[in-house]
Amino acid sequence: MSELGNSRVITSNQEGVHKDLEQVVLKHLKHAFRKPYQAHTLAAFKECEKWVEQQGKPIILDSCCGVGESTYHLAKKHPEAIILGLDKSADRLAKHPQSIADNYRLLQVNLNDFWRLAVDANWHLSHHYLLYPNPWPKANHLQRRWHGSAVFPAILALGGELELRSNWFTYIHEFARALELAKQSCHVETFVSETSITPFERKYWASGQKSLRLTATLK
Ligand SMILES: C[S@@+](CC[C@H](N)C(=O)[O-])C[C@H]1O[C@@H](n2cnc3c(N)ncnc32)[C@H](O)[C@@H]1O
């Protein structure tokens, strides 16, 4: 398997939207996620919080940014904002060239903690990009998908214009249903573009796979 993983069409032992999705999402919407924060993400948050406050600009998150290629493109697209590219993989982040624009930073963090810390700090995002998160296609991995995880309410609380892209259409359909359960509306469409902005996107398209995009204005 290459660094980017296997680009074959995702196979799953799950047919359509997971049968337990509704029950799992409603449980997480009702109960606060109280798992203690890991020290390294807490320290990274505290450090970047200072920079964010100093800038005083709209905040954009590029969550699961991998090597940060999309973070760079988003920084160019949104010169009025600051962009935080977030990923837990030090190896992937290390592949990013030296910072090329001054309105973005890459941080090695666990999003299960970082998103909750940002909510606690009362951050309100202008945009939130989630491009090709790990699909976790096995049926018994539902709670590893972001919409099935206990941290899902924090994604909602951060607000902003959310954009999620995936080549596993079930992921998008489940996320849309989870938003509906949280009384949020969204739009789902096939996503095509002349240029890919992430390595995974490029690889999927090169192998003939399509992307689905979900957008939502989070209330
Ligand atoms: C399939 S890759 C996509 C990377 C990039 N968005 C792209 O399209 O090239 C998913 C990324 O999510 C990151 N990730 C998964 N779980 C995470 C977590 N709990 N916190 C932070 N990053 C996470 C992985 O390290 C990986 O880089």
Q: Please tell me the distance between residue 22's alpha carbon and the centre of ligand 1 in angstroms.
A: 25
For residue 153, give its domain range.
21-218
Which of 110, 134, 191 to mutate to test ligand 1, by most ligand atoms within 8 A of the CB atom?
A: 134
What's the token pair of residue 172?
A: 């998008």
The pLDDT value recorded for residue 1 is 34
Q: Please tell me the distance between residue 107's alpha carbon and the centre of ligand 1 in angstroms.
A: 12
Residue 15, domain member (yes or no): no
Residue 176, domain member (yes or no): yes
Q: Please tell me the distance between residue 159's alpha carbon and the centre of ligand 1 in angstroms.
A: 20
Q: Please tell me the distance between residue 206's alpha carbon and the centre of ligand 1 in angstroms.
A: 20
Range list of β-strands (E), 121-186: 127-131, 160-166
pLDDT one-digit tens code per residue, 188-219? 999 999 999 999 999 999 999 999 999 999 99
Look up the pTM and report it.
Answer: 0.96
Residue 3, domain member (yes or no): no
Q: What percent of the chain is predicted at pLDDT more than 90?
A: 93
Where residue 9 falls among pLDDT bands split at 50, 70, 90? confident
Phi, psi (deg, nearest 5) at residue 37:
-75, 145
CATH number at residue 151: 3.40.50.150
Residue 4, domain member (yes or no): no
Report the number of distinct structural domains present in the chain: 1
The pLDDT value recorded for residue 5 is 57
Report whether residue 89 contacts ligand 1, using a CB cutoff of 6 Å: yes
Residue 11, domain member (yes or no): no
What's the token pair of residue 35?
A: 């798992």
d(CA 206, CA 195): 11
pLDDT one-digit tens code per residue, 143-171? 999 999 999 999 999 999 999 999 999 99
Where residue 7 falls among pLDDT bands split at 50, 70, 90? low
d(CA 131, CA 86): 11
Report whether residue 110 contacts ligand 1, using a CB cutoff of 6 Å: yes
What's the token pair of residue 31?
A: 């109960």
pLDDT one-digit tens code per residue, 86-126? 999 999 999 999 867 899 999 999 999 999 999 999 999 99
Residue 14, domain member (yes or no): no
For residues 71-96, give the mean pLDDT: 97
Judged by average pLDDT, the poorest of 37-41, 66-70, 99-103 is: 99-103
